[in-house]
């Protein structure tokens, strides 16, 4: 029988952006989602190549994709969402006001894939494509369900 592993530390996500877009991505996530830099950014010759950010309890690393891998799929990944033309991943983020966050994200260069709407649960949710090709489901709870 397989022994289920014990997770040690946090599970983190890596978002690959086009090489050179790392600082713009970091600025977007800080400005729109309130992300905070977690630790020192990774620099090469004074240029940002990667940075860990904390969003709520989650850790996300922003990494510049290797331009050779972005250009040639046969080299294997990881590749940026722009190189692929889409992303197979959706990131859910829970915020205090989905309407406000969506509006701000669009003003900062994001695109609404699905406008914010009220779900049957009473929650508000919309879907955003950020300037780097990543898809975010932005949700806020509007009412608490009876127990």
* pLDDT tens column, 18-46: 999 999 999 999 999 999 999 888 888 88
DSSP 8-state symbol, 123? -
Question: Quick one: pLDDT at residue 143?
Answer: 64
Say whether pLDDT at 133 is over 80.
yes
* pLDDT tens column, 86-103: 898 999 999 999 999 999
Say whether pLDDT at 124 is over 50.
yes
Question: Quick one: pLDDT at residue 3?
Answer: 82
Per-residue CA distances from 52 to 30, 76, 83, 85, 90 (Å): 11, 23, 22, 24, 19
Q: Tell the burial category of 119 from Cβ atoms under 10 Å away from its Cβ (0-12, 13-18, 19+).
A: exposed
| Alpha carbons 44 and 50: distance in angstroms, whole number | 9
Joined together, the tokens standing for residue 51 give 């940075």
Q: Which domains does the chain possess?
A: 12-140 (3.10.180.10)
Question: Quick one: pLDDT at residue 4?
Answer: 81
E-only strand ranges, 24-104: 36-37, 42-44, 47-55, 58-64, 90-94
Neighbours of 6 (CB within 10 A): 5
Say whether pLDDT at 145 is over 60.
no
**Neighbouring residues of 27: CB distance < 8 A, sequence distance ≥ 6:** none
Q: Give the distance from CA 114 to its chain's centroid.
A: 17
């Amino acid at each position: 029988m397989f022994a289920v592993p014990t997770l040690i530390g946090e599970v983190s996500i890596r978002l690959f952006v086009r090489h050179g877009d790392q600082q713009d991505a970091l600025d977007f996530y800080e400005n729109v989602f309130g992300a905070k830099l977690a630790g020192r950014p990774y620099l090469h010759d004074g240029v940002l190549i990667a940075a860990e950010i904390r969003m709520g309890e989650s850790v996300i690393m922003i990494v510049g994709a290797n331009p050779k891998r972005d250009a040639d799929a046969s080299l294997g990944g990881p590749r940026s969402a722009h190189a692929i033309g889409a992303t197979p991943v959706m990131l859910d983020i829970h915020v205090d006001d989905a309407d406000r966050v969506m509006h701000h994200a669009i003003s900062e260069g994001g695109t609404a894939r699905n406008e914010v709407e009220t779900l049957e649960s009473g929650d508000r949710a919309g879907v955003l494509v950020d300037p780097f090709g990543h898809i975010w489901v932005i949700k806020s709870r509007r009412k608490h369900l009876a127990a």
